[in-house]
Structure formats: structure tokens, C-alpha cells
């Protein structure tokens, strides 16, 4: 695990467990009012997007909040795959409403938007101040934020248990985010029944996001390879705590993936639990190359649209933008820790321990695009994809191997 020798070499020998509060189980969304009350809420901003806003989840939550005598104001203009502009719009709503607590209901876009809205309403600043360097100034969040109850309705993202909010900075054509332990929701309320009505394509895309969170946390650079220094970063690298969540998320997620896509409610319950475990793991260890590449893949999209998602705008769903890179990324990292790659592959059902092949098999079974060509990219796009990825320093530095421009060219060519 770790040893005192690390101290002698000025290497990190400790890891932190910043666990989230989680309530998991069917119909728990109906408890949101009681949880909000116990957090001291009297006036709540309820964040969602237009599509989720039409579903019964939001009316259920609203009723529960009203039954607890809490005032509710609805913001249903969350942009799926948020931008700096959509974050700012949400923050204006949050500032004007003078709320003492927040509830978010939806996918990662909604939960992330709620985190950002609460941040800029509570500690106003220029937008780029809190955004990760080098795109932004990477300033620390100055203090605690009001309570936030995050209620995921997809079995993916893990945003409900992390301190990360991701967005596109439109003028810079860069996908980046804000990372601070203070953005972590006060409570994750995970009601797997919310996933029962999701289209199969959405379950497939978000399910691959879950598997990649687990795989990237498990194969990230070891926490003990960092130099010692306080405060410890949010993304500590693979550590004994995140390994527990990663392994179990892979096992449960892998076993239930195909059934969950095909609509089994029992399998969707299990996938939601795997997503929660993977979220806890990656909130603690951090992800690396596939997610770093995904920012560019999603940000530079031309005309790809996926069934099951809004069709108005071209968009590569987050989980797909991640998993199309994953086989190439794990071929690249396999030599750094063959044992971990083999264990992960075997958990996912590849008897020869080939992680990239295990993923490609599952991608075909779930009918998601296998490789970058299938989401509309060609070799000519590689320089732009590399440029959009090289700025993801926080993620790339969590990889088990050094990644520069030459390596990224190889990685993207391998993903075509």
C-alpha cells in the first residue's frame, strides 16, 4: 500500500478520503424536502433542463419540498453540455433569487450548472477567475457554499459526488471546468427509478461514462508517485480507497451493462449503484487520458447526433466522447501497470486480460460508435483535437505516463 520510504524521497505517502453523503435507493427523490429541511433550507432553487423538467421527477421533488414548507423557484433552462454563457445565465438567476439552498435534478450538465450558479452567486467574480488554469486563473473558492442536494436522473456522470463542474468556454473553443472540494454537493440523493424511462442510447452512453470513471481511477498514476505537498489535490491518483470503488463499479457495471441498456429495471438499479461507486472513486482519484481527449472530441463536434438525445444541435454525448478514446488510451497505458489493466479486463469479461478489446466488445454489444470516425472525425482533425487536449493539464498529469503533443497524436490516431 504505502511505506515510510516515500517520506524520505519527499514523495506522498498519505491519501485523503473525502467521502460524500449519499442516500441511495428507490423513491428517495420523494424525501428531498425532508433532507432540505434538515440542511436548514427555507428557499430553494430547483435546477433542471427542459426535457427533464417535463418528467414526473421534478413535480415529485417539488411536492416533497413544498410539503416540507420550503419555497421553490424553478430554473429549467440548463443547457445540455453547458457553456460559460449558460453557467453565467444560471448564476444570474441564483443571485437574484437569494436562495439559501439548491436542488439539482438531471444529468451531469444540470448538477454542474447548479454548482457553478451557487458559486458565482455566493462569491461573485469574473467568470475565468475560478476556471482551471491554464484556461482560467484557477483561483480557490473562498468559502463554503450553501447546501446543494444533487439528484441524478441518468446512471452516469458521478457529478453528484464530485467537486467538479465542466463547461465549454465558447470564445476559446475549450472545454474545461472548475474544480474545488467546496463544489461537492452536500448530499447526493440517488433514486434509481429515475433511470427507468431513459432511452437505451442514453443508458449506453452514460454507462460507458461509469465504466471509464472506474477504469481511469484504477489506472491513474499512483497517489504515492506525487511529490508531497499540502493541500492535497482533489485528484490524488489511484489509492486504496478509490480502488475499492473502482473494482466494485467495474464488476457490477460490467455484469449489468447490456441488460440495463435493453431496459431491465433491476439492471438499471445496479448500474446506478455502480455509477455511484465509480463517482466516489473518481472524485477521489481523478480521471485521465480518455476524459482529457473527450473534452476536445465533444468541443469540436461538427454534425454528429445520437439517437435518444436532443436533435437540435450536433453533440457527442459525454460518455461516448470518452469511450471512443478509451481503447486507444488503454493500449497506450497498458505497459505502465500490466497487472491493473489485466485485472480490469478480466472483470469486464476478457479472459486474455486485454482491456482495450474488452471495451470494444462491450461497445459493439451496446451499439455505440466504436472509434472517432464514427462520430465524424478524420485524420485531418488530429492537430485540432491535440490542441484541444493539451490544455487539459489537470487530467493529463493524472495519467500513469507522460503525455505531450507527440503522444496525443499517437493516441488520437489510435482512436480513429
Give the footprint of Fe ion on this chain (CB under 5 A). Answer: 209
Instruction: Give the nearer residue to Fe ion in terms of CB position, either 201 or 209.
Output: 209
Rounded to a whole number of angstroms, the minimum distance from the CB of residue 130 to Fe ion is 20
Rounded to a whole number of angstroms, the minimum distance from the CB of residue 210 to Fe ion is 8
Rounded to a whole number of angstroms, the minimum distance from the CB of residue 255 to Fe ion is 20
Instruction: Give the nearer residue to Fe ion in terms of CB position, either 99 or 282.
Output: 282
Q: Minimal CA–CA distance to 387: which of 237, 186, 202, 174?
A: 174
Instruction: Give the nearer residue to Fe ion in terms of CB position, either 108 or 237.
Output: 108
Rounded to a whole number of angstroms, the minimum distance from the CB of residue 400 to Fe ion is 18
Rounded to a whole number of angstroms, the minimum distance from the CB of residue 143 to Fe ion is 28
Instruction: Give the nearer residue to Fe ion in terms of CB position, either 33 or 283.
Output: 283
Q: Measured between alpha carbons, how far is 119 from 127 in angstroms, rounded to an integer? A: 10
Instruction: Give me the residue whose beta carbon is nearest to Fe ion.
Output: 209
C-alpha separations of 90 from 40, 43, 50, 139, 167 in Å: 22, 16, 14, 20, 13
Rounded to a whole number of angstroms, the minimum distance from the CB of residue 257 to Fe ion is 16
C-alpha separations of 53 from 59, 156, 311, 390 in Å: 8, 19, 17, 36
Q: Give the three-state DSSP class for 184.
A: coil
Instruction: Give the nearer residue to Fe ion in terms of CB position, either 209 or 248.
Output: 209
Q: Minimal CA–CA distance to 158: which of 214, 238, 202, 198?
A: 214
Q: Give the three-state DSSP class for 139.
A: coil
Rounded to a whole number of angstroms, the minimum distance from the CB of residue 209 to Fe ion is 4
Q: Give the three-state DSSP class for 319.
A: helix
Q: Measured between alpha carbons, how far is 265 from 259 in angstroms, rounded to an integer? A: 9
Instruction: Give the nearer residue to Fe ion in terms of CB position, either 64 or 242.
Output: 242
Instruction: Give the nearer residue to Fe ion in terms of CB position, either 44 or 275.
Output: 275
Instruction: Give the nearer residue to Fe ion in terms of CB position, either 75 or 282.
Output: 282
Q: Measured between alpha carbons, how far is 56 from 46 in angstroms, rounded to an integer? A: 14
Rounded to a whole number of angstroms, the minimum distance from the CB of residue 158 to Fe ion is 7
Would you say 385 and 316 are in contact if contact means Cβ atoms under 8 Å apart?
no
Rounded to a whole number of angstroms, the minimum distance from the CB of residue 285 to Fe ion is 13
Q: Measured between alpha carbons, how far is 283 from 327 in angstroms, rounded to an integer? A: 22
Instruction: Give the nearer residue to Fe ion in terms of CB position, either 49 or 209.
Output: 209
Q: Cβ neighbours of residue 176 under 8 Å, at least 6 residues apart?
A: 131, 132, 135, 136, 166, 167, 169, 295, 391, 392
Q: Measured between alpha carbons, how far is 267 from 256 in angstroms, rounded to an integer? A: 5
Amino acid at each position: 500500500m504505502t511505506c515510510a520510504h516515500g517520506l524520505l524521497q519527499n514523495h506522498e505517502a498519505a491519501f485523503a478520503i473525502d467521502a460524500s453523503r449519499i442516500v441511495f435507493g428507490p423513491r428517495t427523490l420523494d424525501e428531498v424536502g425532508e433532507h432540505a429541511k434538515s440542511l436548514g433550507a427555507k428557499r430553494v432553487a430547483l435546477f433542471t433542463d427542459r426535457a427533464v423538467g417535463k418528467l414526473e421527477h421534478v413535480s415529485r421533488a417539488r411536492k416533497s419540498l413544498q410539503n416540507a414548507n420550503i419555497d421553490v423557484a424553478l430554473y429549467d433552462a440548463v443547457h445540455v453540455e453547458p457553456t460559460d454563457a449558460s453557467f453565467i445565465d444560471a448564476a444570474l438567476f441564483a443571485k437574484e433569487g437569494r436562495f439559501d439552498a439548491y436542488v439539482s435534478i438531471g444529468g451531469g450538465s444540470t448538477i454542474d450548472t447548479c454548482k457553478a450558479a451557487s458559486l458565482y452567486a455566493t462569491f461573485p467574480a469574473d467568470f475565468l477567475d475560478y476556471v482551471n488554469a491554464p484556461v482560467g486563473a484557477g483561483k480557490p473558492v473562498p468559502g463554503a457554499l450553501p447546501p446543494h442536494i444533487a439528484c441524478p436522473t441518468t446512471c452516469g456522470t458521478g457529478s453528484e459526488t464530485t467537486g467538479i463542474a465542466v463547461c465549454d468556454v465558447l470564445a476559446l473553443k475549450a472545454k474545461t471546468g472548475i474544480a474545488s472540494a467546496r463544489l461537492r454537493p452536500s448530499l447526493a440523493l440517488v433514486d434509481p427509478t429515475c433511470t427507468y424511462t431513459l432511452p437505451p442510447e442514453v443508458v449506453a452512453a452514460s454507462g460507458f461514462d461509469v465504466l471509464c470513471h472506474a477504469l481511469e481511477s484504477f489506472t491513474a498514476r499512483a497517489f504515492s508517485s506525487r511529490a508531497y505537498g499540502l493541500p492535497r489535490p482533489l485528484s490524488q491518483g489511484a489509492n486504496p480507497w478509490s480502488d475499492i470503488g473502482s473494482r466494485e463499479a467495474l464488476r457490477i457495471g460490467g455484469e449489468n451493462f447490456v441488460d440495463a441498456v435493453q431496459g431491465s429495471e433491476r439492471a438499471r438499479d445496479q448500474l446506478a449503484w455502480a455509477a455511484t461507486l465509480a463517482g466516489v472513486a473518481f472524485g477521489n482519484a481523478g480521471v485521465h487520458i480518455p476524459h482529457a481527449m473527450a473534452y476536445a472530441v465533444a468541443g469540436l463536434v461538427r454534425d454528429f447526433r445520437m439517437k435518444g438525445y436532443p436533435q437540435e444541435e450536433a453533440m457527442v454525448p459525454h460518455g461516448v466522447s470518452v469511450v471512443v478514446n478509451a481503447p486507444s488510451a488503454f493500449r497506450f497505458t497498458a505497459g505502465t501497470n500490466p497487472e491493473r489493466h489485466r485485472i480490469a479486463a478480466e472483470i469486464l469479461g476478457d479472459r486474455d486480460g486485454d482491456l482495450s478489446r474488452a471495451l470494444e466488445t462491450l461497445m459493439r454489444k451496446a451499439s455505440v460508435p466504436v472509434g472517432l470516425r464514427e462520430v465524424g472525425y478524420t485524420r485531418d482533425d488530429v492537430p485540432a483535437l491535440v490542441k484541444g487536449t493539451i490544455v487539459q493539464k489537470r487530467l493529463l498529469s493524472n495519467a500513469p505516463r507522460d503525455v505531450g503533443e507527440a503522444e496525443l497524436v499517437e493516441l488520437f490516431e489510435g482512436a480513429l
